Amino acid sequence: MDAFQYNSEASFLLGWYEYDDHYFLTDPREFIYEFFPLQPDWQLLKTPITLHDFEDLPFVRSLFFRYGLYFSDPNTKAVMYTDSTGAATMRIAMPAHMQSSLIFHYNLKFYDTEGDGFDGVSLKRFVMQSVVGNVVSFRVHAPCSGAFLLDIFANAVTPREYLTGEPMKFKSVCKFKICCAELQTVMVPLPDCASGEWGPTKATRLFGLVPITHQEALIFAGRELELQFRMSRPLADFMATLHKNGVDEKRLAKYVHHSTQDDIVSFYISFPEEGQYGLDIYTRERGGPTAIHQNGSTEKEKHLLTHCCKYLINSSKRN
């Protein structure tokens, strides 16, 4: 091993390895992410990189390449620095044939203490994950100055496998150190919605539910909002819940309702006050279970439905 130098910037992330055939006849363009030959010729690259460039490379696992992932931003580094608002964005692109099956997840914790909460709130609520096209983005808003560790996981499953409700095992594909030297803006956590990605892409991937009115995860609205989707296959028992920091979910239930007409489902929201809201949408395949009360009425309960998608909504009379 004297002929190689290990990626020192990523050494804080290493653990024990099992046998992995990724390291057999590895593409030099992938191998260079983890090992740096002391003799440039042994990089086997058309344009060898410097030791400084090597230490800046993001830390990736072999699964990153097995899924065909790559960084859409060439400036992505092992250590990412936030701007004055405490924000930093990591973007990962995936091949077209993986878009319908690849699911991502993440974890954020303090780099030095490994704590995963700030003022009693999970650090996960300071990360916004969204998917647009073939790119999944993780936008971190640091709640305070300091260093953080962002771990990104992935798993390839079919929509049918996902909808069985069986536990899924996510494996790490890459990690980043996030450094916030100074914070000039007070950051608040995202509304306490279901975990996972924001935006309607998940609805299309899992249920064939295609957004008509809002294709982006972030919505700027006035005091009222209508969302519409088109069903590409029969679905039943829609449900939506509204969330706002500091407000009980039950108090917001009366401000959101929905209707269906033919293959169009519409959600209507009237916001009781200005501010930032999260909207969770649930549904199920037609023919699935429903909850029957003793009096015979049917209630669409969240534990019998599958989370479909969620939106982040900024409501203001100026919008």
Contact 104, 69 (CB under 8 A): no
pLDDT of residue 165: 73
Q: Which amino acid is at 33?
A: Y
| Secondary-structure class of domain 201-315 per CATH | mainly beta
Q: Which long-range contacts (CB under 8 A, 24 or more apart) does 73-78 make?
A: 78/7, 78/9, 78/10, 78/176, 78/177
pLDDT of residue 188: 92
Q: pLDDT band for 299, please (50, 70, 90 cuts).
A: very low
* Rounded percentage of the chain residues whose pLDDT exceeds 70: 89
Q: Residue 249 and residue 192: Cα distance in Å, rounded?
A: 10
pLDDT of residue 302: 56
User: Phi and psi dihedrals of 253, rounded to 5?
Assistant: -60, -35
**Which residues of the chain form CATH 2.60.40.10?**
4-180, 201-315
Say yes or no: domain 4-180 is CATH 1.20.58.2050: no
The reported pTM is 0.86
Query: pLDDT tens, 170-199?
Result: 999 999 999 999 888 888 999 999 999 999
235, pLDDT greater than 60 = yes
pLDDT of residue 149: 97
Q: Residue 101 and residue 154: Cα distance in Å, rounded?
A: 10
293, pLDDT greater than 60 = no
Query: pLDDT tens, 41-87?
Result: 998 989 999 999 999 999 999 999 999 999 999 899 999 999 989 99
Q: Which residues contact 15 (CB under 8 A, 6 or more apart)?
A: none
pLDDT of residue 17: 56
10, pLDDT greater than 50 = no
Mean pLDDT over the full length of the chain: 88
